[in-house]
Structure 1
Amino acid sequence: MCDPRIIVALDFPDQVEALELARRLDRSLCRIKVGKELFTRAGPQLIEKLMRLDFEIFLDLKFHDIPNTAASACTAAAALGVWMINVHALGGKKMLLACRESLHQKNTKLIAVTLLTSLQREDLDEVGLFDTPAHIVQRLALLTQQCGLDGVVCSALEAAQLRSSGLIEEFLLVTPGIRLADSGYNDQARVATPRQAVQNGADYLVIGRPITRAAEPLKVLEKISREIYFV
């Protein structure tokens, strides 16, 4: 499988646990996501170590700042040689365009977070976004596409609607909040199983605890791979 659709989230507090888990996985079946806590603690050296294990890295730092600062951060992240980085779509058109331009002629993919999968309607009302998550996600996804980014992060529950809303086929949908049928939701609200996510049109599935906290992570990874490749 030359383009693994599973991205394993290494949401660990330190690099020792993260590297130990990574060594138990099959790089032909997955990519790796490094988020804010782990990157803040371990730094770019961890990215280098994971790349030496031949993993492609999604550096999930969700940049959201004034256009020049966000663009400079994207340039620095791409210089690490990672496969994908992300920004917040709520940063607006000028920021998205600046970030896209900062990666001109670079191979790193750039996607935008629409709404965090932990947010529900009442959370949006509290910050003044008086609309449903689905409508807000759709508007932000279309804006992201117009700005030339490679895709968005969205809930798997919204992927089907986005696929029918005018997005080009090549526009990537990266879906966190993936849970196995027999696992809990934890701090996610808008969740789906791996099979549901792929059926809804997701390109890549970000999966953390169902794999990283399993007694046999590789077996769970292999099981999910079989499930999503034969939908």
Structure 2
Amino acid sequence: MKTNNLSLTDRIIVPLDVPNIKAAIALIDQLPQITFWKVGLELFVSTGSEILTVLKNRDKRIFLDLKFHDIPNTVAGACRQAAGYGVDLLTIHATAGSAALKAAKLAVQEGAEASGVAPPKLIAITLLTSLSSRDLAFDLKIPLELPEYALQMALLAKNAGLDGAVCSPQEVEQLRQTCGEDLLLVCPGVRPSWAEAGDQRRSLTPAQAFKAGADYLVIGRPITTAKDPSAAWERICQEVAT
């Protein structure tokens, strides 16, 4: 894996799942010890690149989680522009298909080079962690078992030259064994043992997810909605350190 030089706490990404720039800055300032923040659809639609500038001015790492999913030409154009922001991770749905994934990978290299920044790691979404095996079978009509489907999406991304995949903690061990050590695995839906699962169907604790082979964990509501977010962060750090 490519994260061996980082501490476990530097491998925990906290989502800025707030509606506006004021709320985002308040949360960032409340948790100065967080080094890696995720910017998703809600905040990016609200603020555009302004929030990315705020984070970079504070020397934070950025996971731009926009989950692009479109035809190859459109995906490539979006990735080319996003790469110019100088973010660290960028997401695309694996179900966009091999041609779109390959176009996106080339585009982030072009966009980063044009802007004079390092290209982001391009990470494929295998299956949203809010979806269950039943959802896969009955709603999406996909005849594969959920772990097999997630693995196939990760292999599709790897074969297209992408840097990593997003998967639930419950699939990470199989993906690590099959896809090898070089594929970055990012796990959302991670919940400490003392936190509510919420809408996450396929979860593990932070310590379990790291042990299974995750490179990065995305942990949001157990921290950001806690009565004392700083105390919740410290509790998670203690949990993964033991």
Fold shared by both chains (TM-score > 0.5): yes
Aligned twin of 2:207: 195
Aligned counterpart for 2:46 among listed residues 37, 41, 50: 41
Aligned twin of 1:174: 186
Q: How does 1:70-81 map to 2 (within 5 A)?
A: 70-81=75-86
Report SS of the residue matched to 1:116. Answer: coil
Aligned counterpart for 1:127 among listed residues 124, 130, 140: 140
Is the contact made by 1:7 and 1:32 (CA closer than 8 Å) also made in structure 2? yes
Q: CA deviation at 1:168?
A: 2.5
Q: Which residue type is aligned with residue 142 of structure 1? A: L
Q: CA deviation at 1:2?
A: 4.7
Q: CA deviation at 1:210?
A: 0.6
Report SS of the residue matched to 1:205. Answer: strand
Aligned counterpart for 1:7 among listed residues 13, 16, 31: 13
Is the contact made by 1:9 and 1:32 (CA closer than 8 Å) also made in structure 2? yes
Q: How does 1:87-126 map to 2 (within 5 A)?
A: 87-104=92-109, 106-125=118-137, 126=139
Is the contact made by 2:82 and 2:108 (CA closer than 8 Å) also made in structure 1? no
Aligned twin of 2:31: 25
The C-alpha deviation readout for 1:8-62, integer Å capped at 9, x for no partner, is: 01111122111111112235x5300010011101111111112111111101000
User: Matches of 1:182 and 1:15 in 2, distance apart?
Assistant: 30
The C-alpha deviation readout for 1:154-208, integer Å capped at 9, x for no partner, is: 000100111122x131211100001111211111111111011111110100010
The size of the alignment, in residue pairs, is 228
User: Matches of 1:141 and 1:7 in 2, distance apart?
Assistant: 20
Aligned twin of 1:164: 177
Aligned twin of 1:149: 162
Between 1:53-62 and 1:117-126, the stretch displaced more is 117-126
Q: CA deviation at 1:229?
A: 4.0
Report SS of the residue matched to 1:12. Answer: coil
- 4+ long deviations beyond 3 Å: none
User: Matches of 2:165 and 2:21 in 1, distance apart?
Assistant: 27
User: Matches of 1:220 and 1:188 in 2, distance apart?
Assistant: 19
Is the contact made by 2:168 and 2:187 (CA closer than 8 Å) also made in structure 1? yes
User: Matches of 1:157 and 1:2 in 2, distance apart?
Assistant: 23
Is the contact made by 1:26 and 1:218 (CA closer than 8 Å) also made in structure 2? no
- CA RMSD, aligned part only? 1.5
Q: Please give the TM-score of this superposition, normalised by the length of structure 2.
A: 0.89
Q: Which residue type is aligned with residue 32 of structure 2? A: D
Aligned twin of 1:138: 151
Q: CA deviation at 1:111?
A: 0.4
Structure 1's 102 and 229: CA in aligned 2 closer, same or farther, altered over 3 A?
farther
Q: CA deviation at 1:130?
A: 1.6
Q: Please give the TM-score of this superposition, normalised by the length of structure 1.
A: 0.93
Report SS of the residue matched to 2:161. Answer: coil
Q: Which residue type is aligned with residue 226 of structure 2? A: A
Q: Percent identity?
A: 44
In the alignment, does 2:79 pair up with 1:66?
no
More helix by share: 2
Report SS of the residue matched to 2:81. Answer: helix
The C-alpha deviation readout for 1:112-148, integer Å capped at 9, x for no partner, is: 0000001112211222212221110001111111111
Aligned twin of 1:86: 91
